[in-house]
Structure 1
Amino acid sequence: MYSTNAFKAYKNNSVNYASKEQLLLMILDGGVKFSKIARQAILDKDITKAHENIVKTENIFYELMATLDVSQGGDWAPNLMSIYEFIINRLVEANLKKDAAIMDEIIPLIEEVRETWHEAYKLSIKR
């Protein structure tokens, strides 16, 4: 019982005291996790689980789009917005068709977005 409560307290504190950048990385880690769970659920024919996790992944990318300041982001921001839109569109299609092949296509891109932000974070803390 104590270890469960201690773990919950640790998780809450890690979120409550995380920087904006660290929260972004946590969200992107969730996107990778949920997309992989969705893919497996499609293979397992668990339609509800697949749907729920694809929607979680979509919501993460909707939030990323909502918080991306294209006017301040320079040349890369519109490109990043296009990538986010592409990911969402493919997730919607994967959800409608329950197509693992689409998830196989999109998961590496989601992982690449996560890795790009992880690298940007590493560079920002070295300054």
Structure 2
Amino acid sequence: MIAQSAHQAYKQNSVSTASPGELTLMLYNGCIKFLGKAKTAIQDKNIQEKNLNLQKTQKIIQELMSTLNMDIEVSKSMMQMYEYMNHRLIEANIQNSIEIVEEVEGYVTEFRDTWKEVIRINRQKTFTGDQA
């Protein structure tokens, strides 16, 4: 019980001290985690668990959508992709489709990996003092 509260405190502190870029990375990682749980639930024919995890994924994608700066051109493309992924998650939920979940998981993983690289490059620029 004490270990669990310590873990919760650590997680809360991690979120409250994270930069916006790190928070976005956490959201992508959460998506991937819940998509994995949804796939397992589909395989186990656990409809309630599948539905719960797909809905959690959709809420994260909706949060990602709300953070987009629509004044930036690439955000319009990202919005379309997020809308597409949300639509596909609804289909996956209705059809109990691991294939659709894996399709969305592929997109989220690609976004996450790209975002990790952006964070790495920005840290490198900050560390070297290069603000170009």
TM-score (norm 1): 0.90
Gaps of 5+ in 1: none
User: How far did 1:82 drift?
Assistant: 1.4
Local SS of the residue matching 1:86: helix
Partner of 2:4: 4
Count of residue correspondences: 125
User: How far did 1:3 drift?
Assistant: 3.3
Matches within 5 A, 1:1-127: 1-71=1-71, 73=72, 75-127=73-125
Q: Is the 8 A contact 2:27 2:64 kept in 1?
A: no
User: How far did 1:8 drift?
Assistant: 2.4
Equivalent residue letter for 1:122: R
- Counting aligned pairs with the same residue, the percent is 37
User: How far did 1:16 drift?
Assistant: 1.4
Local SS of the residue matching 2:63: helix
Equivalent residue letter for 1:42: I
Equivalent residue letter for 1:15: V
Stretch moving more, 38-47 or 101-110: 101-110
User: How far did 1:42 drift?
Assistant: 0.7
CA distance in 2, matches of 1:92, 1:116: 25
